[in-house]
Amino acid sequence: MTAPTDSIAACLSAQPGIQRVPTPKAELFQHKRFVPDDLAAELIALIDSGRRPSTIADDNGDAYFRTSETCDLAADLPAVERIEAMITALSGLDPAYGEPLQGQRYAEGQEFKAHTDYFAPGGRDFAKFCSLSGNRTWTFMAYLNEVEAGGATRFKLLDKTFQPEPGKLLCWNNRLADGGVSHATLHHGMKVRKGVKYVITKWYRERPWQG
């Protein structure tokens, strides 16, 4: 097990099925068939049973900045234990540094406008969210279902757009080698045009998670 401050990119690069996205600006990877269909179905059912309106630390005054729904997934559920173990095996990251797993549901017309997963140093809520466990380091996000239209994830500064495909995992480093934040990881959960999109997200911190 390694801490998120260690180099995870080398560990990921050595895993079968994973691809590093060609860009010098960020450590970004994809695995096109990471989540098996049966597990995805279980996670979707959990998200549907516990979803609530998504929130955001700083919406810049835009009430429509994030319009999805979120579900907090309990760590002792078998499906959650299974996906958590898969992420740990893939990344080598110490689970102690991980936030609880979340699920998100995007109905038609819903989106999450361009944002970063890290908390901006000096921002309005930085101390509130980062005083105990530090800032976010790695993000692991997986699509769980087929979306009829829309719902892509766009990294504008990297000129990369990823379409939602069942089981596809995206993961990226929110930090730079010098410890600063990676502005290039700005990404947009684009509007779902037709259908519904389900994803799960796992974030890691600089220090062990303390809630």
The domains of the chain, with CATH numbers, are 26-205 (2.60.120.620)
Are 103 and 47 within 8 A, CB to CB? yes
Name the CA dihedral angle for 169, 13, 156, 65, rounded to a multiple of 10 degrees.
40
Alpha helices in 32-176 (DSSP H): 37-50, 78-91, 126-130
pLDDT of residue 63: 55
179: pLDDT strictly greater than 70:
yes
% of the chain beyond a pLDDT of 90: 81
- Side-chain-side CA neighbours of 97 within 13 Å: the count stands at 23
Largest separation between any pair of C-alpha atoms in the chain: 43
Burial class (CB in 10 A: 0-12, 13-18, 19+), 69: middle
For residue 57, the model assigns a pLDDT of 60
Reported pTM: 0.93
